[in-house]
């Protein structure tokens, strides 16, 4: 039952989505010479300046840096939320810098779970429905399986007793747990989290981080933006960004 429940029947790669034009990525995530410039009334602002990065399956990577250093921009590039001005990004065998907005949403729904500081749950849907939503859009699993899977994920996040509550009826930490469950809904290989503990107290932040560690242990790849040095030190790999460039990288044994 659980095997069926957690196998992805809709994650087959569509024609045209995974065209890599001769390049065969070795790593799960490959970022090559990525530049991101924003046009502002006072001139161009370079958020990322020729960033190169690769992440392998099962890694837990922290991206740290000061405000405005470009760390969120980097995660937006990898999740396909934003697109690079120049450079190439390959994620799970997909050249996502070439994807259009529609195929990108479809690809993201199945391959990357995204977690934000402000949770981004839809306020009119219950916690359970928020978790079911990605499966619905991605046409993953049967309707009955969607509910069972969402309840199972909420149970994993210790939120099953709040499944039928609205997001506004639970605490910030609980909302973040629901957001993590939602990110896992379509069983994506990658989780990208942008300051996931930024809006939580230290105890709750610690609990969320422990969840991430468990997910990595289950084989997920996690990329987490944080400016919490303490949390960054708990990951195996920490990348420091300053002025749009990777300036330091620490790998712990």
Partner 1 sequence: MVPTRWRKVILDLWMHKARTLLVIAAIGVGVFAVGLVAGGQAILLRELNRGYAATNASSATLTTTPFSSELVARLGRIPGVEAVEGRRRIPAQVEIRPNETRALLITAVADFRAQQLDKIYPIGGAWPQRDGLLIEQLSLEFLNASVGDKISVDLGNGLRKELTITGLVHDANVPNARVTNRAFGYVTIHTLNNLGLGDYFTELRYRAVEADNLSAIYALNDALKSQIERSGHTVFATDTPTPGEHWAQEIIETLVLLFILFGVLIMVLSGFLVVNTITALMAQQIKHIGVMKLVGARRRQIMGMYFVMVAAYGLLAVLLAVPASMLAAQRVVLFATDLLNTQIVNNSVPLYVIGLQVAGGLGIPLAAALWPVINGALITTHKALNSIGIDQSSVGRGFWERLFAQMQQMLPLQRPLLISLRNTIRKKGRLALTLATLILGTALFIAVLSTRASVQQTLDDFLRYHRYDVSVVFARPYRTAQIEPLAQQLPGVVAVESWLTGSARRVFADASTSESVSLVAAPANSAFMDPKLEAGRWLLPTDANTLVVNTDFADAHPDLRLGDEVVLEINGRNHPWQLVGIVPTAAAGPTLYVNYNFYARLARSIGQATTLKVVTAQHDAAHQAEMAARLTGHLESAGIRVSSTRTTEGIRESNQYAFNIIIGFLVLMAVLLATVGSLGLTTTMSINILERIREIGVLRAIGASDNAVRVIVLTEGMTIGLLSWVFGSVTAVPLSQLLSHTVGMALLGIPLNYTFALDWTFIWLVMVILLAAAASLGPAHSASRLTIREVLAYE
**Using CB under 8 A, which of 80, 84, 189, 244 touches partner 1?**
80
CA–CA separation, 60 and 74 (whole Å): 16
Q: Is 134 in the site for partner 1 (CB under 8 A)?
A: yes
In the complex with partner 1, which residue's Cβ is closer, 107 or 235? 107
**Using CB under 8 A, which of 98, 136, 198, 245 touches partner 1?**
136
**Using CB under 8 A, which of 102, 161, 203, 252 touches partner 1?**
102
CA–CA separation, 153 and 183 (whole Å): 10
**Per-residue contact flags (x/-) with partner 1 for residues 104 to 133, judged by CB under 8 A:** xxx-xxx---x-x-xxxxx-xx---x--xx
Q: Is 196 in the site for partner 1 (CB under 8 A)?
A: no
Q: Is 32 in the site for partner 1 (CB under 8 A)?
A: no
Residues in contact with partner 1, counted by CB under 8 A, come to a total of: 36
User: Between residue 211 and residue 250, which ones bind partner 1 under the rule CB under 8 A?
Assistant: none
Choices 21-29, 96-104, 209-217, 232-240 (CB under 8 A): range interacting with partner 1: 96-104
Q: Two tokens at 76?
A: 């937006």
Q: How far is the CB of 236 from partner 1 (least distance, A)?
A: 27
In the complex with partner 1, which residue's Cβ is closer, 187 or 238? 187
Length of the chain counted residue by residue = 253
Residues 6+ apart with CB under 8 A from 74: 31, 34, 48, 51, 53, 63, 225, 241
Q: How far is the CB of 126 from partner 1 (least distance, A)?
A: 9
In what helix (H) or strand (E) does residue 30 lie, and over which residues does it extend?
strand 29-40
Burial track 100-117 (b if 16+ CB lie within 10 A, e otherwise): eeebbebbbbbbbbbbbb
In the complex with partner 1, which residue's Cβ is closer, 107 or 209? 107
Q: How far is the CB of 247 from partner 1 (least distance, A)?
A: 25
Burial track 45-57 (b if 16+ CB lie within 10 A, e otherwise): ebbbeebebebee
CA–CA separation, 217 and 26 (whole Å): 21
In the complex with partner 1, which residue's Cβ is closer, 126 or 240? 126
What is the 8-class DSSP label of residue 166?
Answer: -
Do the Cβ atoms of 225 and 232 come closer than 8 Å? no
Q: Which residues bind partner 1 (CB under 8 A)?
A: 76, 80-82, 101-102, 104-106, 108-110, 114, 116, 118-122, 124-125, 129, 132-138, 143-144, 146-147, 182, 185-186
């Amino acid at each position: 039952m659980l095997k069926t429940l957690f196998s992805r029947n809709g994650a087959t790669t569509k024609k045209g989505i995974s065209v890599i034009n001769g390049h065969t990525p070795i790593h799960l995530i490959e970022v090559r010479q990525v530049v991101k410039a924003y046009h502002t009334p006072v001139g161009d602002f370079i958020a990322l300046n020729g960033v190169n990065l690769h992440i392998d399956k099962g890694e837990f990577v922290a991206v740290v840096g000061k405000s405005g250093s470009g760390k969120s921009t980097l995660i937006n590039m990898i999740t396909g939320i934003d697109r690079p001005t120049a450079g190439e990004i390959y994620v799970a065998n997909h050249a996502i810098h070439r994807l259009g907005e529609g195929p990108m949403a479809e690809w993201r729904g199945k391959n990357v779970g995204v977690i934000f500081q402000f949770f981004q749950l839809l306020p009119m849907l219950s916690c359970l429905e928020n978790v079911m939503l990605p499966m619905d859009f991605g046409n993953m699993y049967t309707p009955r399986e969607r509910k069972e899977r969402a309840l199972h994920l909420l149970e994993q996040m210790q939120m099953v007793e709040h499944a039928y509550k609205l997001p506004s009826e639970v605490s910030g930490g609980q909302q973040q747990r629901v957001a993590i469950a939602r990110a896992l809904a379509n069983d994506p290989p990658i989780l990208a989290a942008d300051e996931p503990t930024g809006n939580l107290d230290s105890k709750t932040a610690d609990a969320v981080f422990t969840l991430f560690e468990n997910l990595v242990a289950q084989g997920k790849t996690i990329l987490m933006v944080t400016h919490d040095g303490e949390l960054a030190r708990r990951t195996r790999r920490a990348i420091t960004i300053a002025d749009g460039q990777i300036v330091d990288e620490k790998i712990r044994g």
